[in-house]
Structure 1
Amino acid sequence: VSYAISFLTANYYLWRQPCSGNPAMSILRAFLICFFLVCCFQILYGFQKPVKPKPSVLDINAYEKLVVHYRYNKPDSALFFANLGMDLAKRTKDEEGVARMLNQMGMIDDNSGNAESSRQRYLEALEIYKRLHNYKGIVKENIRLGVVENRKGNSAAAIPYFLQALKISEQNKDKSGIMESYITLGEVYAFRHNYQRAISYYKQAESIGATLPFSSLKLNTCLNFGTAYRETGELSKAIYYFEKGISQSDYPEMMGLNISLTNGLAQVYAKSGAIAKAIELQKGALLKSRKISNSLREFQSLMALAESYGTSHPAIALNYLQQALTVGQTKKANKQILEALSHIAALYEKSGDYNAAYLARTRQYNIADSFYFKDISIKISNLQAQYELTKSQAKVEQLKFVNSKQLLEQKIMFWIISGSIALLLILGAYYFKIRNLNRLMNKANTDLIQSNNVKDKLFSILGHDLKSPLGSILSFLELVNRGWLSEEEKTLMLSKLESQCSTTLDTLNLILHWGQMQLKGVMIQQSNVSPEKIINRNVLLLKEMATQKSISIEQDIEPDLQVFCDADHLDFLVRNILSNAIKFTPIGGIIHISVQAYQNDQVIFEVRDSGIGIEPSRLESIFSLNNVSTVGTNNEKGTSLGLVVCKEFINANAGNIWVESTIGEGSKFFFTLQRTQIKQQ
Structure 2
Amino acid sequence: MNTRFLKQHKPDNLMRGCVLLCLFFSFYIISAKAQDSNRDTLISEIEQIKKSENFSNKDTLYINNLLALAKEYRYHNLDSLWILGKKSLDLSKKAKFINGEINSYHALGGYYSDKGKIDQAIEYFTKAYNLANSHESHFLKARTLNDLAKEYGYKGEYSNALKWYLATIEIAEQHDFKNIISIVNDNIAHLYLEQKDYEQAMVFLQKSKSIHEEIGNPVFLAETLSNIASTYADMNELDYAMYNINISIATFEKERILEWLAYCYEIKGKIYLKKNKNTWALYWYKQSELLHQEIEDDRGKIDLLNGMTEAYLNLENDSIAEVYATDAFDLSKKIGLRSGIKNSTHKLSKIFKNKKDFEKSLWYHEIYQATYESLSATNNEKALNMLKTRVAYDQQKQQLILDNEKALAEQKIYIYVFIVILFIFAIITFLIHRNEQEQKKLNLELRNKKTDLEEKQAYLNELNQTKNKLFSIIGHDLRGPIGAFQGLLKLFKEGEMTKDEFLNFVPKLKVDIDTISFTLNNLLSWGQTQMNGSITKHSVTNLDCIVEENIALLSEIAEAKSISLVNRIEPNCQIWSDPNQIDIIIRNLLSNALKFTPNNGQIVIGAIQKIKTCEIYVKDNGMGMTEDIISKLFEKDSNHTTYGTNNEKGTGLGLSLCKEMVEKNNGKIWVHSALGKGSSFYFTIPRLQKQYKESA
Q: Same fold (TM over 0.5)?
A: no
TM-score after normalising by structure 1: 0.41
Of structures 1 and 2, the one with the larger relative CO (CA 8 A, separation 6+) is 2
